[in-house]
């Protein structure tokens, strides 16, 4: 009793500041402002974001702390200060605060730069992007699929105890008894059990082929550009499809399928023969995907230098794919060179487009262009004639 009273007294004595932190409140407001700022500059930030590898639902964006500005004098080339200790005129030091030791100045005026790593949900970013850019959503191709699911369907007098529908059973009991006021009693006839049935569901399936040229001419930077682009494409498509499969194909003069983590590590050497990659894609489609049921997308990133002798074969191979694919996109990643699609592969896709196929191409020279590319393809997809 005494102990209770004491505890109560302590609770009453708990001051407001034990329950509420103004510092934390204003900190949250700061973070909110940072988020607003990030949101206002999304395309640039996306280009620079550190994309966590597969499965992660967040990206980390490094941001600087906001500064509330005051009038300040410009940095002096030379300034005087006062210090204390064992020092003689003419002694020379280097500023310890410039070595990152973080001297605590009076009033905290010269605070060391602090970088925050804010984590953003990819879903949020994609939502913002859609809102911001007003991108048309992709059109989904609905078809029957192998997907089956259990659905609830009807009642039966027999069933597992756990599926007993009490409400329904009670109604049955009331119906049987009419309005007689006897104490409620159930008999077996009254009981109703929910039934489940296996039903095929119309499902929206998509498979995206990412094909990357890893020949000697593709630099690390080119691959990173391609990766960033691919990443946001997956995010965009994933919004539309309940199940999205990704297939990664890399090629030089040969072609291989890779898992996602391996895919971006791969580097090869030697020439570029696009048709090998395209044929590989075709093989995979035939082996694993039914074009009638799946929406097939192909995005191909290369520097565009397909070997001239391969042109005809590449054209045929590509044609077999576009016949079944919802869309094929060509991304020319050639940092440093701005040839604007005037390449062997570029011409190939230009022909496709001219022939009215759902295809598009875009040249990415630097990270800023990644978002433009995403926008380009997704808008183009909407305008493409329905297959």
Residues 56 to 95 in contact with other proteins, rule: CB under 8 A: 65-95
Q: Choose the binding region for other proteins from 39-47, 100-108, 267-275, 317-325 (rule: CB under 8 A).
A: 100-108
Query: Quick one: which of 197, 126, 204 has its CA closest to 163?
Result: 197
Distance in Å, CB of 173 to other proteins, minimum: 56
d(CA 36, CA 147): 41
Residues 179 to 238 in contact with other proteins, rule: CB under 8 A: none
Distance in Å, CB of 128 to other proteins, minimum: 19
Which residues lie closer than 8 Å to 48 by C-beta, 6 or more apart? 61, 62, 367
Per CB under 8 A, 10 contacts other proteins: no
Residues 29 to 48 in contact with other proteins, rule: CB under 8 A: 29-31, 33
Per CB under 8 A, 259 contacts other proteins: no
Beta bridge partners of 256: 250
CA-based angle 330:373:206, to the nearest 5?
65
Q: Which is nearer to other proteins, 109 or 167 (CB)?
A: 109
Distance in Å, CB of 19 to other proteins, minimum: 11
Q: Choose the binding region for other proteins from 24-32, 141-149, 176-184, 378-386 (rule: CB under 8 A).
A: 24-32
Please give the size of the binding site for other proteins, defined by CB under 8 A: 58
Residues 112 to 171 in contact with other proteins, rule: CB under 8 A: 114
Residues 308 to 347 in contact with other proteins, rule: CB under 8 A: none
Per CB under 8 A, 356 contacts other proteins: no
Per CB under 8 A, 22 contacts other proteins: yes
Q: Which is nearer to other proteins, 26 or 127 (CB)?
A: 26
CA-based angle 63:115:94, to the nearest 5?
140
- Residue identified by tokens 């605070």 is 111
Distance in Å, CB of 234 to other proteins, minimum: 34
3-state secondary structure of 230: helix
Which residues lie closer than 8 Å to 187 by C-beta, 6 or more apart? 173, 176
Distance in Å, CB of 38 to other proteins, minimum: 15
b (16+ CB within 10 A) / e for 196-213: eeeeeeebbbbbbbbbbb
User: Contact 257/274 with Cβ under 8 angstroms?
Assistant: no
Q: Which is nearer to other proteins, 70 or 175 (CB)?
A: 70
Distance in Å, CB of 240 to other proteins, minimum: 35
Q: Which is nearer to other proteins, 97 or 338 (CB)?
A: 97
User: Contact 190/172 with Cβ under 8 angstroms?
Assistant: yes
d(CA 314, CA 334): 20
DSSP 164: B
User: Contact 355/323 with Cβ under 8 angstroms?
Assistant: no
Distance in Å, CB of 115 to other proteins, minimum: 11
Q: Which is nearer to other proteins, 114 or 308 (CB)?
A: 114
- Residue identified by tokens 């590449």 is 314
d(CA 159, CA 155): 9
Instruction: Catalog residues that contact other proteins under the rule CB under 8 A.
Output: 15, 17-18, 21-31, 33, 65-96, 98, 102-109, 111, 114
């Amino acid at each position: 009793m005494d102990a209770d009273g004491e505890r109560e007294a302590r609770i009453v004595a708990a001051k407001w500041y034990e329950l509420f932190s103004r510092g934390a409140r204003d900190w949250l407001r700061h973070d909110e402002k940072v988020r607003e700022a990030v949101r206002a500059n999304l395309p640039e930030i996306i280009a620079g974001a550190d994309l966590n590898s597969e499965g992660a639902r967040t990206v980390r964006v490094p941001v600087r702390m906001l500064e509330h500005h005051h009038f300040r004098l410009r940095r002096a080339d030379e300034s005087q200060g006062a210090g204390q200790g064992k020092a003689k005129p003419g002694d020379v030091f280097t500023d310890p605060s410039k070595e990152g030791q973080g001297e605590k100045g009076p009033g905290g005026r010269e605070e060391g730069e602090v970088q925050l790593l804010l984590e953003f949900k990819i879903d949020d970013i994609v939502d913002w992007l859609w809102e911001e850019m007003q991108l048309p959503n992709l059109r989904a191709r609905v078809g029957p699929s192998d997907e089956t699911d259990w659905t609830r369907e009807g009642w039966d007098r027999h069933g597992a105890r756990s599926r007993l529908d009490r409400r329904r059973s009670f109604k049955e009991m009331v119906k049987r008894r009419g309005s007689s006021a006897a104490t409620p009693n159930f008999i077996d006839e009254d009981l109703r059990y929910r039934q489940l049935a296996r039903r095929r569901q119309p499902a929206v399936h998509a498979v995206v082929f990412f094909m990357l040229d890893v020949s000697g001419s593709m630099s690390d930077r080119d691959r990173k550009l391609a990766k960033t682009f691919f990443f946001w494409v997956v995010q965009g498509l994933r919004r539309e499809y309940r199940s999205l499969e990704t297939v990664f194909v890399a090629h030089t003069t040969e072609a291989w399928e890779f898992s996602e983590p391996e895919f971006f590590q791969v580097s090869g050497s030697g020439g570029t023969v696009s048709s090998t990659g395209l044929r590989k894609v075709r093989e995979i489609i035939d082996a694993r995907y039914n074009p009638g049921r799946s929406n097939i997308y192909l995005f191909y990133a290369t520097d565009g230098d397909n070997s001239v002798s391969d042109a005809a074969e590449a054209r045929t191979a590509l044609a077999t794919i576009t016949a079944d694919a919802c869309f094929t996109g060509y991304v020319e990643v050639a940092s440093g060179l701005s040839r604007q699609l005037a390449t062997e592969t570029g011409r190939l896709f230009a022909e496709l487009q001219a022939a009215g196929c759902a295809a598009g191409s875009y040249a990415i020279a630097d990270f800023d262009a990644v978002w433009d590319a995403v926008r380009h393809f997704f808008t183009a997809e909407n305008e493409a004639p329905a297959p």
